Structure 1
Amino acid sequence: MPRIPFVIPLLLSLLGLAACSPPPTLDQQLYIWQRQWRPAHVEALAQTRLDFSTLRVLALQAHPKAGWARAYPDLQLLKRDGRPLVAVVRLDGQLPQLDPRAIGEQITSLLHDWQAAGIQLAGLEIDHDCATARLPAYAALLQDLRRQLPAELKLSITALPAWLASDQLEPLLASVDSSVLQVHAVSDPRRGLFDAEQAQHWAAEYAARSPSPFLLALPAYGVALLDSPAGAPRVEGEAPLRQGGTRRELQADPQHVASLLAELRDDPPPGLSGIIWFRLPLAGDRRAWPIDTLLAVVRGQPLRPALDLHAQQNGQLSELQLVNRGNLASALPAHIELPAQGCTAADGLGAYRVTSTPQGLRFTRQHPGQLAAGSQRALGWARCTQIDQGGLHVEL
């Protein structure tokens, strides 16, 4: 019987190990997009330290009418945090033209000030949502900027799915070290903030075109659409717009985003090195996902709401609050049955009205709403001799 060369089973063994090896881990990074920093940033950075490797911090903006404006991050807090930092320069897509000299001067001044504060940047990101027809001019700007920057400073840009239709995409990406494909808030807002299936398609197409590693920017926030007399709705984010009328809330669905992330982890497109989340949630940020939701998605944990009742008692008077102790927002329940005895008075608050039943109290929702993960909402009050919180029955 002929002997099989030793190298053949060894090769087959190595191939088997390669086939069974897990896909590469996707790096997780985080955008910090507030122009003015506040004490809530201290806790937010501490809560995210273990899950996000790199912070991309809004540093400088240029708008057609307002001109240049600095953001004012707490540089000493960032220095103590110790994670790699990328400064983000936002050039509004509606700028009539790009002035390489002015842009270079502004960025040079910014880098000097951050370095003077003891910050050693890992990179610089240019965020410019220009029209596809202007990509050649944008590439020329980046090449000029690359010559002005320190050689060790990595240069990256954000990219739009619309640019996939242009043959100028490759020359543009060749002028930077890496890029970030943005797949949220890139279409007519009336069509929604994010489409997971479309995002996966864009990522695969972009992977086939990008000559260098890229990251994917995923949403962890919501916006409101305000009707406008001009036709196209206005988009309200963190800062409220001084405009009346109907507000329609849109939010990236955490479950949809989590499903996409799981698929990307199992079968990442070639060249995809990580995910950047927009944006760091702060306490009181009414449109960013709560931190518990963001961390659960990043960690691949199950997403579920967990409604509970909290009663603050003072004698027979109880102030009732509905609490969501889960990591996913919940629709406000249509009905809440609360076993109670000896009730002489009660009233609902906000979205709820209360009626008496033989078993206790029944709270009925008057209009729809949501209860974010980790938040609470006043339900009402009751004057009863006994309230059985454990017997609470919720009907969504």
Structure 2
Amino acid sequence: MNRRAMLGGALSSVALAACDAGGGIVDPRRYEAFFLWPGVTAPGWLGQAGEVYVLAGEVRHDPGSRFEPLRTTPRVPGPTLWLVARVERLDWEEAIHREVLRLLALWEAAGNRVAGLQVDFDAATRGLDRYAAFLADLRGRLPRRWKLSITGLMDWSAGGDPAALRRLAGCVDEVVVQTYQGRRTIPGYAAYLAGLRKLGMPYRIGLVEGGEWREPAGLSGDPMFRGHVVFLLA
């Protein structure tokens, strides 16, 4: 996901987040799911989290680039983990697929509860069809015990091709829709989020630590809404 451009789970996380419905600053300790960047020190309380999306490595845009690991294998006894792959190209060689699957198995063998793989890719709203084809192939390679998550732009719901969105919905378990740019919440996010039902797939709302957040009316009542993911900054 291009955070410079634009940027569920448990019902309890929805309830906690609803406490912020009146607006205010995103306090991570009020939520249960988090995104952890390399270089960001995990706070002590993160061990009590429900789920943590851990950026494990990246595939850069250079032709022939490999999967570049960004951290060692975690050993986290508490939260369920998502292995996140930051992706800049979709023309993966077989070696990349093998490495991602190897790491998922390695994380699991280390004693972690692994939910699955999240792909973090700058999928333009007009390029969703090609992205859906890539994800369908990836889903076919993943053992069924692992879920497939993706990050998404807010304007997918407004400008995304309905047929492409249906294809996405057919191969992913969730999309984490990001609402921030840099360290700030994107102004006017409520207008975009109002159309999220059009995605046709389970979704979470990605919030930035310390950013503004006023929960849109009716969000918690959407059956496709799975809660929030807070992107930690420090």
Q: Is the TM value for this pair above 0.5?
A: yes
Deviations for 1:224-245, whole angstroms, at most 9, x for unmatched residues?
Answer: xxxxxxxxxxxxxxxxxxxxxx
Letter of the 1:31 partner, please give it. Answer: F
Per-residue deviation at 1:161? Answer: 2.1
Deviations 1:39-76 (A, max 9, x none): x53xx1x22344x3211101121112465311214612
2:156 aligned with 1:152: no
1:55 aligns to 2:52 (yes or no): yes
TM-score (normalizing by structure 2): 0.75
Contact 1:33 1:57 in 2 (8 A): yes
The Cα of 1:128 is off from its aligned counterpart by 0.7
1:180 maps to 2:176: yes
Structure-2 separation of matches of 1:99 and 1:112: 19
Instruction: Give me the whole-angstrom Cα distance separating, in 2, the residues matched to 1:47 and 1:84.
Output: 14
Distance in structure 2 (CA, Å) of the matches to 1:47 and 1:211: 34
CA contact (8 A) 1:100 1:144 kept: no
8 Å contact from structure 2 (residues 155, 192) kept in 1: no
**4+ residue segments displaced more than 4 Å:** none
Does the 8 Å contact 1:57/1:86 carry over to 2? yes
Partners in 1 of 2:110 and 2:47 — Cα distance? 21
* Greater Cα offset, 118-127 or 54-63: 118-127
Percent of residue pairs bearing the same amino acid type? 26
* Structure showing greater relative contact order (alpha-carbon pairs closer than 8 Å, 6 or more residues apart): 2
Distance across 2 between alignment mates of 1:103 and 1:144: 13
1:268 to 220, 226, 232: 220
1:31 aligned partner: 35
Distance 1:269 1:158 in 2: 22
Number of residue pairs the alignment of both structures matches: 202
**Structure richer in strand, relative to its length:** 1
Unpaired runs of 5+ residues, structure 1, are 1-23, 222-251, 282-396
| TM-score of the aligned structures, taking structure 1 as reference length | 0.46
TM-aligned CA deviation for residue 156 of structure 1: 1.0
**1:135-174 correspondence to structure 2 within 5 Å:** 135-164=128-157, 165-167=159-161, 168-174=164-170
Larger radius of gyration: 1
Q: 1:205 to 1:106 in 2, by over 3 A?
A: same
Alpha carbons 2:52, 2:81 under 8 Å: kept: yes
The 5 A counterparts of 1:226-305 are 252=211, 256-257=212-213, 260-261=214-215, 263=216, 267-268=219-220, 270=222, 271-279=224-232, 281=234
CA–CA distance in 1 between the matches of 2:137 and 2:190? 33
* Distance of 1:134 and 1:103 partners within structure 2: 22
CA distance in structure 2 between the partners assigned to 1:193 and 1:267 by the alignment: 21
Query: Shift of the alpha carbon at 1:102?
Result: 4.1
Q: 1:100 to 1:269 in 2, by over 3 A?
A: farther
Q: Distance in 1 between matches of 2:229 and 2:82?
A: 12
Q: CA deviation at 1:219?
A: 1.1
